Amino acid sequence: MHDWARHRTAALYAMEPPDDLLLPDERPWFLRHAFEVVCGSLLFLLVFGFLHDRIFVPVGSGQRAVRWSRFFGGTVDKVYGEGMQVIAPWDEMSLYNVRVQEISTPIRVLTSGGLDIVFDISIRYRPRIERLVDLHERFGPDYARKLVVQEISSTLQRVVGDATYTTLTQPRTYTAALHDSVAYARTQLDTEAVEVEDVVIKQITLPAELSQAIHDKLRQQQMVELQQYRVEEAKREAERKAVEAEGIRKFQKIVSANLDERYLRLRGIEATLELAKSNNTKVVLIGRNADGLPILFDPAAAGGAKP
């Protein structure tokens, strides 16, 4: 290299840079790492947009929630109330409706005699908030069918399944047994984490032969009751006539003891005067007959003959 080239290079390196020109390693941190910051922000927004519904869980009105932690012991022993709850995206939050709910379901029961009976029942229930964690661990969100319906179904199967054909054809005995079984099922559920307010059997579908047997038996009972009613009615009518006859007998006895010929003649005269005052055409024959009263003759009644 020539001497003049070496001197020029040394002069360039000896020159100080302007104040507004900074070397790359002297720039601010966010400028030196701008690419990493932009990529990280985009990645965070992407992950947040994908997992925000698992991080922010809204608990609505009339609801409670139970959280399951993946890395810290499973189900958390705490019932979360209404509002926005924030959890880790790898955890899970189960929501429960704590209001009074109703479920209608058919329950099929097979009797010991091989008869297939279907009960259409309606159940009103709600979970106990203070035992919601226990309910979640044992049955989960589908506790209504796993616990409530299953308990009532088992009770009906135990009561109706052991009933004989004779018992099934007696409506009163059969209905009383059903009510007892429902009451027993509610008592059993009182110890669970669910409160059952009411159980209603809306409809019972019986086999055709059993339904016909019950219908025939009811008709016979109604016929027997009708006959008994007729017998009782006849007895009451006989008693009424006996009382009436006794009253007539007493009346005749009292009247016959106080009547004489002069009183009867006076009553006859009064009756004759009343007839004479009427507008009907008549002829009065003055004279004496067997009772001493005048004779009234009506020409119209005698075929229009004139006196």
The DSSP code sequence of 29-82 is HHHHTHHHHHHHHHHHHHHHHHHHHHHEEEE-TTEEEEEEETTTTEEEEEEE-S
Q: What was the pLDDT predicted at 305?
A: 45
Q: Domain segments of the chain: what residues?
A: 21-99, 102-206, 215-258, 261-297
All residues at 6 or more sequence positions from 236 whose CB lies less than 8 Å from its CB, including other chains: none
Q: What was the pLDDT predicted at 128?
A: 93
Q: What was the pLDDT predicted at 283?
A: 56
Structure tokens at 131: 């035992």
Q: What was the pLDDT predicted at 304?
A: 47
Q: What was the pLDDT predicted at 271?
A: 72
Q: What is the pLDDT along the chain (307 residues), one digit of tens a residue?
A: 455 555 555 554 555 555 554 455 566 766 667 777 778 777 777 776 667 778 888 999 999 999 999 888 899 999 999 999 888 888 999 999 999 999 998 988 877 777 778 888 899 999 999 999 999 999 999 999 999 999 888 888 887 777 666 666 666 666 777 787 788 888 888 888 999 888 888 887 777 776 677 677 777 778 888 888 888 888 888 888 888 888 888 877 776 766 666 666 777 777 777 766 766 655 555 555 555 555 555 555 555 444 4
DSSP 130: G
CATH fold for the domain made of 102-206: Tetrahydropterin Synthase; Chain A (3.30.479)
Q: What was the pLDDT predicted at 161?
A: 73
